Amino acid sequence: MSRKEEIKAGSEATTKAFDIELVCNALQTYNENVNALSLDHYLIAYEELRRFFELLGAVFGFVAKDVDNKIEILKGYRNDEQIKSHYETIQSMFDYESSNNLLKDSKRPSGSRTLLRLHRALEFIMMFMSELSKLENNSATGGVARDCYKKSLAKYHPWYIQKTASVAMYTLPTRQDLIARAFGYPPGDECMTRASEDMAKLARISECCYNITQKLFEERDLLTLP
């Protein structure tokens, strides 16, 4: 029995749970070639991260919906036979859209701008996972989520969304209940310990991914795309 199967044995949420190993593997592959950052692996990770936001409930419903929209835009470009080769890597996408004046085209969603929005959400993920991995099982997660949100996504949201989201985050469950809901891990010290290890691992890998992508956005002067 694999580690994931062992952890989730007996859990009713197994088939629907957030697959943290899939995300770690996809982002690790993305991180391994900084000169040709794979958009496909980034999207593989984000399709699963979208599930994580959904499993957190209505509190992050607006984030899950926005992430879903951004994923579909980028997948559309990757599946378009006429331009798909230009969207194979982050670098090739930046080059293609820059040279064809597509970065600020109001008639066509920019892939670079779309990626920037997902990139910003990843900052929240890496912070939240890191903090969750350190909490006691019976500790509330709302305050941690709120602090991470303020330091990341809130910087790009209008005040009314910030206020609504911050208040709603206090309804998040304890760490143990959140892990059971999102990850599908059954109760028990061993499973909670493994959950901590997995979350810490994802925090490290996603931070590496964030830093690599952030540097590329900075080098191309694309961090302020409207």
Which residue is it, tokens 């926005």?
A: 66
Using alpha carbons, list the distances in angstroms from residue 82 to 77, 90, 95, 149: 9, 17, 16, 38
- Structural domain contains residue 98: yes
Give the CATH number of the domain where residue 78 resides: 1.10.3520.10
List the chain pLDDT tens, one digit each, 226 residues: 444 554 444 444 344 789 999 999 999 999 999 999 999 999 999 999 999 988 888 878 878 888 999 999 999 999 999 999 999 999 999 999 999 999 987 789 999 999 999 999 999 999 999 999 999 999 999 999 999 999 999 999 899 888 888 888 888 999 999 999 888 887 777 888 999 999 999 999 999 999 999 999 999 999 998 8
- Structural domain contains residue 58: yes
- Structural domain contains residue 199: yes
* pLDDT tens digits, one per residue of 165-182: 888 888 899 999 999 988
pLDDT for res 109: 95
- Structural domain contains residue 118: yes
Question: Which domain, by its residues, includes 63?
Answer: 20-220
Say how far apart CA 49 and CA 93 lie, in whole Å: 22
pLDDT for res 8: 47
pLDDT for res 155: 92
- Structural domain contains residue 175: yes
pLDDT for res 11: 42
- Structural domain contains residue 43: yes
- Structural domain contains residue 3: no
Q: 14-27 as b/e, with b when 16 or more CB fall inside 10 Å?
A: eeebbbbbbbbebb
- Structural domain contains residue 151: yes
- Tally the domains of the chain: 1
